[in-house]
Structure 1
Amino acid sequence: MALVALASAKGSPGVTTASLVLGALWPRQVLLAECDPSGSDVAIRMTAPGGTPLNSDRGLVSLAAASRKGLGDEVILAHGQQLDGGLDVLLGVRSPEQVGGMGGLWHPLGLTFNQMQFGDVLADCGRISTTSPQLPIVYSARLIVLVCSATGSSVAHLRERLAALASQVDAQLGVVVVADPKQRDAVKQVWSVLDAMSVPVRHRWHLAFDPVGAAFFEGRGHGRLAKTQLIRSATDITAEMAALVASPQDLDMAEAAFPLGER
């Protein structure tokens, strides 16, 4: 299967929310891995089935201790949990101070994520810079998606980070702009910046900035999630991303489940 890394070059434009939304809509088996060294948000926002709290001691840190005997699907999944709604997650560190206990896990973990038989992996890598400890996860991904807002400072940092990544990875690169659906002109300006770069970024998506929809992924939503602008915009994005990293076997299974005449 495949590893998809989501990250930002500046601030908090919604990487965790985007990761949760994509994971909830992903068309195949998927694991959401929190690889943000600043600390886990999912354990704070979300609950286990039945509304019970997630175990914040079970995740990357416990995996780091167990990984001394090797990594693989069974080892990683043994330290995962399930969210209310069915999404499998590997919780991140509780605080930045715990990152030191990760040791040299980042590199082998990235390689293993990209080869899991269980399914695809969506890695929420948070903000990345040239010194970020989670960079090996990003470098191992088959698809790297940078999430940004449509502000000038966010786009400037996006441009610099894309240029650096293009010289270091062979992965496909994509950009998700989180913006109000009415800010189409601002989103087009981001695309213009990308067009002016020497780095080819063919995969571009506009994810709706939608506080109502985002509230569901912060544990306080009400109403019908499927009707929100967030889900409406994320549905096509998820399908396209999943297709980009699909293996021939994945495509064969999709064809069997949804014959051409039924799509």
Structure 2
Amino acid sequence: MALVALASAKGSPGVTTAGLVLGALWPRPVLLAECDPAGSDVAIRMTAPGGQPLNSDRGLISLAAAGRKGLGDDVILAHSQQLDGGLDVMIGVRSAEQIGGMGGLWAPLGISFNQMHSADVLADCGRIGPASPQLPVVQAARLVVMVCTATGSSVAHLRERLASLVHHVDAQLGVIVVADPKRRDGVKQVWSVLDAMSMPIQHRWHLAYDPVGAAFFDGRGHGRLDRTPLIRSATDIAAEMAAVAARPTQRDFDMAQAAFPQSESGYGPATDEWRDGR
């Protein structure tokens, strides 16, 4: 399975809402992990099955205390909980003051998220920069997706953050622009800005800005969620992101080559000659 990191350059362009809706539509088992040091939004906005409140003491901080001897699937899932609707989540810190309790867990946490056998992980990393404590989680991801709006200030901060981020991560990069479905011209302007930078942005998506649909992920929704522009746009994005995350990366190939180098005859372990012992 694989780790996908969602983050922003500045402000609140909708990273948590994007994580919730993408997690709800993900085509494989998935865990949404709140890795935003600013504090948890999910515990405030969402409920457990039956409308019960989520346990804010069970999540990232309890995992930090229990996981110092190892972070396998069982340990991670033991500190996760389920939302009403079925999405598994790991609740983040209640406030920024609790970050000190994380210690040096960020790096092993990112590696463990990316190596989970039972589920993909969508990590809501909030706002990131070169000195962000959660940066090791972003660095461990197979796919890093920056979320922005189509406003000039959001795009300017995105451009600045991407220019710095490419020096800190070795992963495929993507951008989600949250914009009114009718503002395709604004989305195209964002792509033009990125093209002018010659940035290695392999994946680009337009997520509909839809207050009616977003209200369902804030505990205020009414009506048919499946008919909202948010869900219609997010369905395709979730499928495409899951497919990207499932592909082996160049790093995977490099590791396989190191483990099974070609012989002097030029035959590697995948050739018929190697299999047949010839």
Short-chain TM bin: over 0.9
1:71 paired with 2:88, answer: no
SS across alignment from 1:206 = strand
Trace 1:171-182 onto structure 2 (pairs within 5 A): 171-182=171-182
1:11 paired with 2:11, answer: yes
Tell me what 2:276 maps to: none
In 2: Cα distance, 1:64 partner to 1:200 partner? 34
In 1: Cα distance, 2:170 partner to 2:66 partner? 30
Larger radius of gyration: 2
Counterpart of 2:164, as a letter, is A
Per-residue Cα deviation, 1:168-204 (whole angstroms, up to 9, x for no partner): 2220000000001111111110000011112221200
Tell me what 1:161 maps to: 161
Counterpart of 1:82, as a letter, is Q
Q: Aligned Cα RMSD in Å?
A: 0.9
Q: Aligned-pair distance for 1:129?
A: 1.4
Per-residue Cα deviation, 1:37-66 (whole angstroms, up to 9, x for no partner): 000000000000011000000000000000
In 1: Cα distance, 2:90 partner to 2:247 partner? 23
1:201 paired with 2:201, answer: yes
Counterpart of 2:119, as a letter, is G
> Which is worse superposed, 227-236 or 67-76?
67-76
Tell me what 1:61 maps to: 61
Tell me what 2:41 maps to: 41
Asked if structure 1 preserves the Cα contact closer than 8 Å seen for 2:225 and 2:231, the reply is yes
Tell me what 1:148 maps to: 148
Give the number of aligned pairs. 248
Tell me what 2:51 maps to: 51
Tell me what 2:274 maps to: none
Structure 2 spans left out of the alignment, 5+ residues = 249-278
In 2: Cα distance, 1:104 partner to 1:71 partner? 13
Structure 1 spans left out of the alignment, 5+ residues = 249-263
Tell me what 1:256 maps to: none
1:129 paired with 2:129, answer: yes
1:21 paired with 2:11, answer: no
Tell me what 1:261 maps to: none
Asked if structure 1 preserves the Cα contact closer than 8 Å seen for 2:30 and 2:88, the reply is yes
Q: Aligned-pair distance for 1:206?
A: 0.4
Tell me what 2:260 maps to: none
In 1: Cα distance, 2:247 partner to 2:201 partner? 21
Per-residue Cα deviation, 1:143-185 (whole angstroms, up to 9, x for no partner): 0000000011110111111111212222000000000111111
In 1: Cα distance, 2:11 partner to 2:58 partner? 27
Asked if structure 1 preserves the Cα contact closer than 8 Å seen for 2:72 and 2:112, the reply is yes
Q: Aligned-pair distance for 1:247?
A: 4.8
Q: TM-score, normalised by structure 2?
A: 0.88
In 2: Cα distance, 1:176 partner to 1:12 partner? 13
Asked if structure 1 preserves the Cα contact closer than 8 Å seen for 2:130 and 2:165, the reply is no
SS across alignment from 2:168 = coil
In 1: Cα distance, 2:41 partner to 2:221 partner? 16
In 1: Cα distance, 2:163 partner to 2:198 partner? 8
Per-residue Cα deviation, 1:57-79 (whole angstroms, up to 9, x for no partner): 00000000001221110111000
SS across alignment from 1:196 = helix
Q: Aligned-pair distance for 1:119?
A: 1.0
In 1: Cα distance, 2:167 partner to 2:59 partner? 32
Q: TM-score, normalised by structure 1?
A: 0.93
Post-superposition, which runs of at least 4 consecutive aligned residues in structure 1 deviate over 6 A? none
SS across alignment from 2:68 = helix
In 2: Cα distance, 1:58 partner to 1:121 partner? 17
In 1: Cα distance, 2:173 partner to 2:116 partner? 21
SS across alignment from 2:40 = coil
Tell me what 2:230 maps to: 230
Asked if structure 1 preserves the Cα contact closer than 8 Å seen for 2:6 and 2:125, the reply is yes
